[in-house]
A = this chain, B = another copy of it.
């Protein structure tokens, strides 16, 4: 029954490297379990929901595109999680839709270029924080400057102003390294 989705001419890749695995209501090969496990850990490290790591891992460990239904069944995951997880993966460009001839619905394919994955992640999850952070720091600098003008000068004040400037420098460096990382992996 777990296989009801992979009809006729679609032997699961799972079969290639056997050993059914013990997952929910599906049949993942040992190979797939291992790969999924790796991506679940990476997801955790990046602060991404486990379910998203599972989905990406399953796609990565599958030799062909999988349909929504396949994902739900093989991972034994709710449709809701699969839907949301796939949305996030598409939003960051980690997964894309491909048309599969003779099949009703679209199928999903993982992006396997590290550079693309990384830049998607950075653009979607990190960049925004950097941008709002920049504003925040600017207003801090304004605050310090005004206090300074208000005659509150002194050695402590100077140290704090120094720290705020350092914060600005961090911000700037951090912004600069993002494209460099992307380039490094390019």
Where the two chains meet, the residues of A that have a C-beta atom closer than 8 Å to any C-beta of B are 13, 16-17, 30-31, 34-35, 37-38, 41-42, 45, 47, 60-61, 63-64, 112, 114, 126, 129, 132-133, 136-137, 139-140, 143-144, 147, 152, 154-157, 159-160, 163-164, 166-167, 169-170, 173, 177, 180-181, 184-185
Shortest CB distance A105–B (Å): 21
Is the contact region of chain A dominated by helix, strand, or loop, or is it mixed? Answer: helix
Q: When A35-B140, A45-B129, A114-B173 are in contact, do A156 and B64 touch as well, CB less than 8 Å?
A: yes
Closest chain B residue to A157, Cβ basis: B16
A160 with B63: CB separation less than 8 A: yes
29 A-B residue pairs with Cβ-Cβ distance under 8 Å, sorted by A, are A16-B147, A16-B152, A16-B154, A16-B156, A17-B143, A17-B144, A17-B152, A17-B157, A30-B143, A31-B140, A31-B147, A31-B160, A34-B136, A34-B139, A35-B167, A37-B136, A38-B133, A38-B137, A38-B140, A41-B129, A41-B132, A42-B133, A45-B129, A47-B47, A61-B163, A64-B156, A112-B166, A177-B181, A181-B181
